[in-house]
């Protein structure tokens, strides 16, 4: 069951056995009537109504993403929630995608996160140059400068470089670094493979 809200105005209930819209088309028409920006742009076509609602939802998401002050680490890698041309991450194996998500979100097995969980004695990287965060690991750690040069094209990366870089290339760098892979060959508990080795 869903209850939608726009500009602090409730748009009605949608769900099985509930009063309110009984079909997707009814929901679209209800939204068109309740949201002024949609009602002025649409005719009665269901396809146009659905497209306009999708556009409206994405614009709300962009606005919330811009206003939100959490997820700082993720924003280093993804300044826009709908950024295109970052590579098809769904071609990656599940374990490789898992490593990418861990590093990009900051919830990983690097010292900075482990220290926050009180599982590491220090947040400092073994290179001694700073806290071992996902950003440090991907962009600045001297231990991986040569691999970074080969895989990503530069020995050091800026935040701007990361925001425009292919996520698939980042995933390949993470896997080939071996930093998040246990001695048994898995990402802590799972096998790690790259798309080229499948």
Chain segment 149-169, per-residue pLDDT in tens: 999 999 999 989 988 888 899
**Separation between Cα atoms, residue 198 and residue 192, nearest integer Å:** 10
pLDDT of residue 59: 82
pLDDT of residue 135: 93
Nearest to 159 by CA among 180, 126, 134: 134
pLDDT of residue 63: 85
**Separation between Cα atoms, residue 137 and residue 195, nearest integer Å:** 22
Q: Residue 60: pLDDT band by 50, 70, 90 thresholds?
A: confident
Q: Residue 186: pLDDT band by 50, 70, 90 thresholds?
A: very low
Note the pTM of the prediction, 2 decimals.
0.67
Torsion region of 20: left, alpha or beta (phi above 0 gives left; psi -120 to 50 gives alpha): left
pLDDT for residue 108 is more than 60: yes
pLDDT for residue 95 is more than 80: yes
Rg of the chain's alpha carbons, rounded to an integer? 22
Q: Determine the average pLDDT of the residues in 49-63.
A: 78
pLDDT for residue 88 is more than 80: yes
Least confident of 20-24, 94-98, 151-155: 20-24
HSE-up of residue 67 (Cα within 13 Å, Cβ side):
6
pLDDT for residue 192 is more than 50: no
What is the SS3 assignment for 130?
coil
pLDDT tens digit sequence for 3-17? 455 554 545 544 444
Q: Residue 78: pLDDT band by 50, 70, 90 thresholds?
A: confident
């Amino acid at each position: 069951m869903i209850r939608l809200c726009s500009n602090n105005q409730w748009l009605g209930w949608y769900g099985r056995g509930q009063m309110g819209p009984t079909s997707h088309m009814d929901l679209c028409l209800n939204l068109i009537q309740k949201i002024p920006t949609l009602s002025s742009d649409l005719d009665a076509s269901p396809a146009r109504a659905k497209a306009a609602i999708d556009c409206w939802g994405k614009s709300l998401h962009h606005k919330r993403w811009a206003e939100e002050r959490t997820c700082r680490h993720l924003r280093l890698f993804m300044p826009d929630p709908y950024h295109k041309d970052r590579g098809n991450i769904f071609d990656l194996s599940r374990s490789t995608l898992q490593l990418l998500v861990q590093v990009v979100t900051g919830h990983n097995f690097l010292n900075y996160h482990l220290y926050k969980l009180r599982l590491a004695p220090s947040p400092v990287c073994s290179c001694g140059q700073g806290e071992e965060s996902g950003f440090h690991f991907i962009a600045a750690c001297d231990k991986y400068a040569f691999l970074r040069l080969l895989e990503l094209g530069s020995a050091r990366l800026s935040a701007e470089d990361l925001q425009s870089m292919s996520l698939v290339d980042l995933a390949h760098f993470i896997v080939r670094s071996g930093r998040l892979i246990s001695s048994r060959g898995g990402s802590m508990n799972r096998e790690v493979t790259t798309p080229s080795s499948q």
